Amino acid sequence: MGTNPLLAVDRLPEFSAIKPEHIEPALTYRLNANRERLETLLTDAEDQAADFATAILPLEELGDQLGRVWGPIGHLHGVMNSPELRAAYNDCLPALSRYQTEMAQDTRLWRLYQKVAETLPDDAASSPAASVVNQALRDFRLAGVDLPEAQKQQFKALVEELTQLGARFEQNVLDSMAAWSAHETDKAQLAGLPAWVMEQAAQNAGETSLDGWLFRLDQPTYVAILTHAENRDLRQRFYRAWMTRASAQTDNDNFDNTATIERILELRHAVAGLIDFENFAAYSLATKMADSVAEVLGFLTGLAEKSRTTASKELAELERFAGESLNAWDIAFWSEKLREERYSVSDEQLRPYLPLDRVLAGLFEVMTRLYGLTAKQVDDIDVWHKDVSFIELTQPDGVVVGGFYMDLFARPDKRSGAWMDECISRKDFAGQSARPVAHLVCNFAAVTESTPSLLTHSDVLTLFHEFGHTLHHLLTRVDYPSVSGTNGVPWDAVELPSQFMENFAWEPEVLRMISGHYETGESLPDELLDKLQASRTFHAGLQMLRQLELAIFDLRLHAEYDPLVGGNINALLDEIRQQVAVIKQPDFNRFANSFSHIFAGGYAAGYYSYKWAEVLAADTWSAFEEHGIFATDIAERFRCEILEIGGTRQISDAFKAFRGRPPQIEPLLAQSGIAAETP
């Protein structure tokens, strides 16, 4: 096994050397080794007094070792998908799920944690050690550790199947996108499209020996066409393709996720029932800040009520501007036209001033001014694709804090969206240490033959968002992997650092730092800068309602599921849209079939987290506004009270320590331009 690159866990992964045939042997070896070590630890624990150092830290190391093997596999599945890698990944999911459930249901292990909990000092409730133990005890309960054996086996089978279904869901979305394309030979049909979109489509056509232009269904292309194509039929064609991904509404229904969704909902409800929860939403909230489904639903519906009047006015104004009633595929196009007329600013005006390299340099300068860290590219790091780079963060005293990989361009074998994920968690105990390493992944338009990668301002916000997650992972001061970085942080608080970082990308001082025309180097002109900033609240009500629509759908879908009726997902989504949305969706819309956040990611019954954390983020930003956006004392307090603590403290307590009071919703409403228009 010594030649298997996945087992070289004492250094950064050798991504370029990892082959599909390495996956199953490496995982099998690691699981077997962990099981053997666990038996030894449990036997030894019977013969000696158990304490945190001797009983729990070796278990932390086992979890970290497994993460160092499986982490690169899961990452490559997301960014370099191939039939061979996918097959190996899918074949391993049952074994991994069985192991994880075995650990979570092992009564001997549960009792060991209980014994150690009794040895912890009463005043150590929020210490890293207590957090490791208490979160583990909670997770034992949520995995059914005290269930009768037959029900334990039932739980294990349910979770194993859910793991496979989540992977199938994501793969169906990816395959559905890859199977769709649009070929056009008449340039007149493509009026309004930006030059970079046309250039990329011409390159695609040339690579497949076609004349004209070949458009693929990736996120940058979809957004550009919906925003800029003057051909309404073309916009509708792309809208339909995007909103029917992985459904029976597509020309190719081999990747239909409908049955997969129904099975996922059925199994989640069954899992929750085994642990004596009324529904999966209540089960999900057991690990979050929010106390109940009713509390979250009240928060979401209240925010929707405050936003709907503003959103209705925005839509009515847009339709007056367009001179007609608008369909869903018209909104982005006419919104961009109205934004350009009102503020004399458009994405295509801004893009030349936002080349990726300049934006990154400015982003790192923001980090330096806030936290004193410097970023340096390291070139001799093994990566999985030629476009990937590795960045190291260093303190003023020269100490390396950690590093992160950047994979920023869209590819056909890469899932859509943007995300941060851990590569290596920070640890320092029992002679074992590791600096944290992250993956920062986006799907921006790639470099073309004539231009570098040029970002929209929305892309910039995405980059700042994911960098906020990255800093959260890298700046942790917690030495135990299970609660370091973003690990152990409640899901409805994990978006706080990321959404907070987005605010900087709206500030004039920062916009000057991150901008520079790709041909002349000229910073964003003051006139454009002022207009961009003035446009911040443009259609904020419509954007707010869209997120609330999805959050309410997710919560109610899991809270109201009835196994005798099924998910009834389209009817439920239609009902919620009637109550919340102001933009009418077409009957063919099957957005749920590609809603990977809740069916293949970690946001099931937790999509509300974005809005919940946005309240925290806006209130956090108001502290910086009060004292200066680069006030080092405020930044240091934010770093100390929020970014460094991992999952070792209640976020409500941490926020109070930072802000001096509980969070308030008013800063979010004011930031969105909604408060003043609320009746």
Residues with a catalytic annotation lie at 466
- Residue 341 CB coordination number (10 Å): 11
C-alpha to C-alpha distance for 329 and 416, rounded to whole angstroms:
20
C-alpha to C-alpha distance for 458 and 71, rounded to whole angstroms:
29
Q: What is the 3-state secondary structure (H, E, C) of 385-420?
A: CCCCEEEEEECCCCCEEEEEEEEEECCCCCCCCCEE
Are 493 and 616 a contacting pair, CB within 8 Å?
Answer: yes
C-alpha to C-alpha distance for 264 and 460, rounded to whole angstroms:
34
Using CB atoms within 10 A of its CB, is residue 298 exposed (0-12), middle (13-18) or buried (19+)?
A: exposed
C-alpha to C-alpha distance for 31 and 34, rounded to whole angstroms:
5
Q: Which two tokens stand for residue 42?
A: 């449990």
Q: Which two tokens stand for residue 471?
A: 């800093």
C-alpha to C-alpha distance for 603 and 281, rounded to whole angstroms:
11
SS3 181: strand
Q: Which two tokens stand for residue 303?
A: 């925010």
3-state helix, strand, coil in the chain (%, to 5): 60, 10, 30
Instruction: State the DSSP string of 609-659.
Output: HHHHHHHHHHHHHHHHHHH-TT-HHHHHHHIIIIIS-TTSS-HHHHHHHHH
Q: What is the separation, in whole angstroms, between the first and last Cα of the chain?
A: 68
DSSP-derived secondary structure letter, 524 = P
Beta strands 400-409 and 437-444, pairing class: parallel
C-alpha to C-alpha distance for 111 and 41, rounded to whole angstroms:
13
Distances (CA, A) of 412 to 83, 165, 216: 13, 22, 8
What sign does the dihedral 234-235-236-240 (CA atoms) show? positive
Q: Which two tokens stand for residue 620?
A: 């956090």
Strand partners, 438: 404, 422
Strand partners, 405: 390, 439
C-alpha to C-alpha distance for 233 and 311, rounded to whole angstroms:
26
Are 382 and 16 a contacting pair, CB within 8 Å?
Answer: yes
| Amino acid code (one letter) for 307 | S
